[in-house]
Chains A and B, each alone.
Chain A
Amino acid sequence: MLADALLLSLRVTALATVIILVAGTGLALLLARVRFPGRTLVELLVTLPLVLPPTVVGYYLLLALGRGSPLYDWLKIDILFTWWSAALASAVVGLPLMVQSARAGIASVDPTLEQAARTLGSPEWEVLWRITLPLARRSILAGLLLGSARALGEFGATLMVAGNIPGRTQTLPLAIYDAVQNRDWATANQMVLLLTLVSLVGLWAVRRIEAPRPIKGRQ
């Protein structure tokens, strides 16, 4: 039970991390650098999972992914109650942490540096790749770690969209719930300890990334 849940959790978190990285960086760039109508709305929607009960997020995902939804009609694939939907739910819940951190990091990059890169022959994608993202690197990494840690611990939304099928959609947090229900204290203890350790290491890494580095001073 523990090994299955652990492996599944790793797989779900890995996919969620990829989604958070790509979607989060894109959204952070959009919110930090582009003025468009409805920006506030996008920002609110992205941040919403941070304050909504995960079951509500899960309910919305059920509506969005289930049979009869426009998305389902369009893609003709049913990912509900598979590990894919667990990864998606985890990503949605972890995304706000990533977007907030990455957005602040990107906004703090001096726009003059981007202008300088343009005068030096860089089209927009290159400005992004060689100037903006490298300079916001630490905030993006910190946000990604926080988002992944949140994704690893996701419970409510995952339960709603992926269920709690041992070996198929039962991630560590769900397995802990089951173990406690079944009064299997030994397994519960192991899993709780494992998650606590991983989260602690994650938080410590975020602190390391965000800590101001001593700038090599002028001679």
Chain B
Amino acid sequence: MPPLLTVDIEKRLGGFSLQVSLHASPEVMVLFGPSGAGKTQTLHAIAGLTRPDAGEIALDGRVLFRRGRPGPAVWVPAHQRRIGYVFQDYALFPHMTALENVAYPLRGRGARQKALALLERMHLAHLAHRYPAELSGGQQQRVAIARALAVQPQVLLLDEPFSALDIPVRERLQGELLALQRDLGLVVLLVTHDLQDAFAVGHRLAVIYQGQVVQVGPVEEVFQRPANAEVAHALGIGNLFTAQVVSSTAEGLVLDWDGLLLEAPPHPLPVGHEVTAYIRPEEVKVLYPDRPLASAVRHNIVAGCVVRRRPGPQVHTLQVALENGETVEARFPAYSYIPLDLSPGKKVLLSLRREAIVIVQRAGRTRKALDLHG
């Protein structure tokens, strides 16, 4: 099936240049990236709230915008696009009740009934006559979604929809959003800078970094195999390092990280090549000095010295200085390693699990890297 929504736009904003190319089918596609990367600008361009300098936007065969591309120039104004937009702060009309908000785009005699049905779909019919100021954040957001659906859109755009909500409300809404997408066959583009959201609702992830889409793919795949160091950085992946390949065989690689030799899974790389690699903090294991080693942690055992310990409610983070002068982060559940003294200054043994060392291509080699991964 061809993609329903195709976006290929360029826009200069001061010193910043946005260059986004995306194709989306009925699915939840998460636009992920640090703030200021151009995610909201992309949504605005799709909705017709800003005009790109050049490019083309098409929805279901209908060109919404075209300039500087083959074919006649096209500009469909926002009010004729029928694209649902849920704004970051919901943008409910404060002088209208929930029902009036949802009925806003509806005309004619059935408007009230249709609006009420939409509110019912979002489990809000009992609050229909409240004003936005009388609703909680989660309720306001559901009104905003119901209102966006009232234009019967094929595309629903959501800008940071969960950022202002507490965790239980957030999880329920994420479930509701997925159900909506499935039932209505919507193309959902959701902007977030929170990876938890991406994992919770995203079918695919598009990483946007400094105005460009740097990688698109299924969420797990992008996270497991970032195409380059920029993506890894944008995803907030820790323990990124640069090393040299000293041996490359069918069994695996040996990397030289500033004098520390590490084994890694096989990768088609020549000896002497400089690579960027990372190991996620969850994969760095602290070893009990008095216990036999499990096979999974038998490789890459390194000694270090605890620099800092950051306790959290569920996970603790440990920073360890290695003998080569670098620092790695280990992250583990709060109930682990209770018998060990992990206070700053203590010597510890770590295992950088061999299978968890991920080779990342550098910027500028994105295409090749993607091809290699097939």
Binding site for B on A (CB under 8 A): 110, 112-113, 115-123, 130-131, 134-135, 215-219
Q: Using Cβ atoms and an 8 Å threshold, which residues of chain B touch A219?
A: 134
Shortest CB–CB separation between residue A24 and chain B, in angstroms?
21
Which of A113, A116, A122, A123 has the most B CB atoms < 10 Å from its CB?
A: A116
Q: Are A119 and B84 in contact (CB under 8 A)?
A: yes
Q: Are A122 and B79 in contact (CB under 8 A)?
A: yes
Docked CA distance A186–B100 (Å): 56
Known: A121-B79, A121-B105. A113 touches B93 (CB 8 A): yes
Residue in B85, B94, B133 whose CB lies within 8 Å of A119: B85
Residue in B79, B84, B89, B133 whose CB lies within 8 Å of A118: B79
With an 8 A cutoff between CB atoms, is B114 at the interface? no
Shortest CB–CB separation between residue B127 and chain A, in angstroms?
10
Encoded as 1 (CB less than 8 Å from any A CB) or 0, chain B from 134 to 151 comes to 111000000000011011
Shortest CB–CB separation between residue B157 and chain A, in angstroms?
8
Q: Are B93 and A131 in contact (CB under 8 A)?
A: yes
Chain B contributes a number of interface residues (CB within 8 A of A) equal to 29
- Determine the residue in chain A with the shortest Cβ distance to B105: A120
With an 8 A cutoff between CB atoms, is B83 at the interface? yes
Q: Are A116 and B79 in contact (CB under 8 A)?
A: no
Residue in A116, A123, A131, A216 whose CB lies within 8 Å of B134: A216
With an 8 A cutoff between CB atoms, is B48 at the interface? yes
Docked CA distance A37–B94 (Å): 33
Encoded as 1 (CB less than 8 Å from any A CB) or 0, chain B from 10 to 30 comes to 000000000000000000000
Docked CA distance A175–B85 (Å): 60
Shortest CB–CB separation between residue B154 and chain A, in angstroms?
14
- Determine the residue in chain B with the shortest Cβ distance to A112: B91
Docked CA distance A131–B77 (Å): 18
Q: Are B48 and A118 in contact (CB under 8 A)?
A: yes
Q: Are B85 and A218 in contact (CB under 8 A)?
A: no
